[in-house]
Amino acid sequence: EVQLLESGGGLVQPGGSLRVSCAGSGFSFSGYALSWVRQVPGKGLEWVSTISGSGGSTYYADSVKGRFTISRDNSKNTVSLQMNGLRAEDSAVYFCAKGPSSSSWLADWGQGTLVTVSS
């Protein structure tokens, strides 16, 4: 069974940093691209970032480019999103999701971790 388990969410002040992570199991981790998608509670879905299976290619939404960094450790089956320069508008539930390629559908999703940026 495919499982994606996010962790690391919490409350952070504007301008601060936070790192969220996602641990995968039940599939060949390095064979799949992994993405972060966020959702303000009660609102729609916004793609944030994707990393290829090898980690050699990364992609970012314009809204986070230069502030967020995605990375993965295939030896530990984890993907992380380092978020710097956080703004109130970054507050959302952050989902980790798995797809067959770097631009594809997202077949499996974690339960999400809530990030709140507030003073």
DSSP label at 90? G
Interaction pattern, residues 88-107, with another protein; x per rule: CB under 8 A: -------x-x-x--xxxxxx
Whole-number Å distance between alpha carbons of 23 and 38? 17
H or E segment to which residue 83 belongs = strand 78-83
Q: Which of 81, 75, 69 lies closest to 110 in space, CA to CA?
A: 81
Contact pattern for another protein over residues 23 through 62, marking x by CB under 8 A: ------------x--------xxxx--x--------x-xx
| Under rule CB under 8 A, residue 111 binds another protein | yes
Where on the chain is the footprint of another protein (CB under 8 A)?
35, 44-47, 50, 59, 61-62, 95, 97, 99, 102-112
